Amino acid sequence: MKVITAERHGSIIAHTLDTGEQMKYAAIRGVISWPLVSDNIPAYYCIVGEEYVPESRYEGQVSQRGKLHLICEYAAPDIYLSLSGFFSRLTDDVSHLLCNDFYGITETYKGEDYQGYVEALQKSTYGNKVSVSLQEAPWVEKADIGILHVMTWQEGLT
């Protein structure tokens, strides 16, 4: 399904799909994985949305969290692809889907410095007049915890 329009209504983001269906999200976030030349892994990003669940009208009832939906993802086709093409695709999706918050490695991790990628992303988004907030990924030092969360989430989709 393709997102035709996206609108912000207060804290809710509504996407109208090509099927005519409307999805409402309480939050939309993205994650960026920088290219790893040593392992021949190209750059990748995905954008997920937490489905909006109206709050209960009954006092004392615990609020429910919405299901997570994979809205879009993109893997660069080649490890040597220029990052300008990758950033161009990312900024198009950020603008179209109203996703401004991303997580990724922002500094040095396992001896590799990722600050250059962060600066290149900032320059690209600024040049395209797109606002993107990139924060350090949770569990960056313990990737297996993040992987476990993703696997648990994927099992809930089936």
Domain boundaries along the sequence of the chain: 3-157
pLDDT surpasses 70 at 149: no
| pLDDT at residue 113, rounded to an integer | 73
Q: What is the pTM of this model?
A: 0.81
| pLDDT at residue 106, rounded to an integer | 80
Second CATH level (architecture) for the domain 3-157: 2-Layer Sandwich (3.30)
Task: State the distance between the two ends of the chain, measured CA to CA, in whole angstroms.
Answer: 18
d(CA 45, CA 92): 13
| pLDDT at residue 139, rounded to an integer | 62
| pLDDT at residue 28, rounded to an integer | 95
Q: What's the CA dihedral at 86, 91, 94, 97 to 10 degrees?
A: -90
Tokens 């892994």 correspond to: 41
Tell me the mean pLDDT in the region 69-76: 91
